[in-house]
Amino acid sequence: MHILFLGDVVGRTGRDAVVAALPKLRADLRADLVVVNAENASHGFGLAPEMAKDMFAAGADAITLGNHAWDRKEVIPYIAETPRLLRPLNFPPGTPGAGSTVVELHDGRKALVLNVMGRLFMDPLDCPFRTTAVELSKHRLGGTVAAVLIDFHAEATSEKMAFGHSFDGQASLIVGTHTHSPTGDHQVLPGGTAYQSDAGMCGDYDSVIGMAKEGAATRFWKKLPGERLQPAEGPATICGVFVETDDATGLAKRIEPVRQGGRLSQTLPVV
């Protein structure tokens, strides 16, 4: 199986780049499963339903969120009726929506997608490790599901790495989001799980993690609240990871970074 995951979509420039590029990207990589983190798609804060619909139409099988899940209030009724749009699994019981979904692929196989949020330097949610363990116990990789993808939305690389090693062998891919900078530690862990600490963002890298650099930098200089941060609007780099799995086990055979367009060095896996 071929899996494509794209990191945090930031603002209009990120949305437009992903929607425009995803159909061809999916075809070129022969991707069976495509998941996009879009929690910053609406002006850098949250996701509006029409934006989610555009990404689904472009080829996303599932969309994940994070700490900005509820910044656009109109997403609350939409997420309740859209199983393929996920908020973090470890939000408190009773929170609208779901943190996991089983996606049926074009060939009839099924893939489990989880969205989980870390706690270090983040909101004090339920334990991401325990909630993930409970959810994974309901499925069998290589059996009931052909693949398991986990988007771990977290700040600290230590927490992300601990999470990856904790569930090594139980997922096809564990990939971090939230920091918006692609890390160079893509690897297949000893148990067969593909891992990268952060996929990076789909947005303008002539910025401060996707936001216009002047306003963002001023906050560090003056330590005073200023105007609401605005997304940078230059050409976007699409960032993510590509994973090829073993059809018999669902475990990873390889993981490679994806960077297309914009300012960063370009790399696209050969399929």
Which residues are annotated as catalytic?
A: 68
Question: How far is residue 265 CA from its own chain's centroid?
Answer: 20
Q: Is 257 left (phi over 0), alpha (psi -120 to 50) or beta?
A: beta
Burial class of 250 by CB neighbour count within 10 A (0 to 12, 13 to 18, 19+): buried
SS3 8: strand
Q: How long, in residues, is the chain?
A: 271
The owner of tokens 């004090």 is 124
Of the CA atoms within 13 Å of residue 230, those in its CB half-sphere come to 8
CB atoms under 10 Å from CB of 228, counted, come to 10
Alpha-carbon distance of 212 to 232, in angstroms, equals 4
Q: What is the DSSP letter of 120?
A: T
